Amino acid sequence: MSLVRQLALAVLAISFFTGIALFGQLPSLRRTPIGYLHRLLRYNLPASLRVLDQKLTNGALTPLLHRCGNYLMNEPHPLVMMFYIVLVTGGIWIDPGIITPQNHKSALRMYPYNRIIFSTTAPPCRTCHLQKPARSKHCSICKACVAKHDHHCIWVNNCIGLNNTRHFLAFLMATNILLSCGVVLCFGILQTVLQINGIDLRRLRVAGWTEWIVYMGAAILEEVHVGAVFLLCVLCGILSFVFTAYHLYLVWAGTTTNETTKWADLMEDIKDGMIFKTDVAEDCAEEQAEGKAVEWPRTSRQSLYRIKEGNTGDLPRGVVWFRVQSLAEVDNVYDLGGWSNLMDVVFPKKLA
């Protein structure tokens, strides 16, 4: 069983580190072991290797590794895509919703500024030199601002945004189907291997898990290639299904991966007692874009204010302010309800 164990450990290790890379930076996992491991692998370990390189080679390897790492992490490249080249061809070329001077006015009228995590008081994009529309973000890899930016996906070598979130969800579901088919087909082959060796499958189905695992391990050992694919599909399938469920949750909640980071930062400020609200909204010019009102089904009669260093004297006069105790007290005007949120993803507004 040593070969089976080695294959299982190798596949598990790949899936484990992939999971840390994908989910370790999520705000909800920052203070969990996954978050700590992500910071260890991304920040602490490279820093230690730089110190070691300085001592052993006087820093000769660090620039080379830095260039390689910068290319892999911060530049478009086809290395990761090779496994999905056919499946993701469409995702590579679909415009995610890049904001240009020509469609900037349309982007400004697409979503209202909620005056919480998006505001017109924010400085213009330092690269594009355009006012940042609500829910947009500049991608340093694609070198452009993207409307309703979610994240940059290395699997499709493109940003996930307004125009292609629906295609990305379809890509995830197709991956789930592909991995599920791999599990079912490989499992059927392994069962056939057991039957050929005279194992009664009906008796095995009612036996305990220990006996079932032992016999399946023997089948994997006999058909190593099939067993390796089976284990890979099982472990990667878990990651894929969890990732799909997470993005479906984001759709249901009316938010994006980029926005969850901003909400998480706001939640930390709430815990520190720095956020106050009033139910009397100010006369906001934020809801106007180039002189035209943003058409959005939901509005908020809520204004928030962040104080500095606990100084409540900074709060504007003339209204009554209440300290926000939890994120549940803050309105998310982008959440229109699960079905409407889904329709906004499947049938996005046209960025003209």
164 vs 247: CA distance, rounded Å: 13
Q: Check: CB of residue 159 under 8 Å from CB of residue 149.
A: yes
In order, the DSSP letters of 70-121 are HHHHHS--STGGGGGTTTTHHHHHS---B--TTTHHHHHTTS---SSS--TT
Angstrom distances, CA of residue 182 to CA of 55, 177, 230, 305: 48, 9, 7, 52
**Closest Cα to residue 234, out of 11, 57, 43, 65?**
11
> Token pair for residue 218?
């023997």
Query: Which residue in the block uniquely carries the two structure tokens 């370990």?
Result: 45
Phi/psi of residue 139, each to 5°? Answer: -100, 120
Catalytic residue among 153, 159, 233, 236: 153
Alpha helices in 197-301 (DSSP H): 201-206, 209-222, 224-253, 257-271
254 vs 299: CA distance, rounded Å: 14
153 annotated active-site: yes
* Amino acid letter for position 85: I
E strand or H helix that includes residue 275: strand 275-278
State the catalytic residues: 153
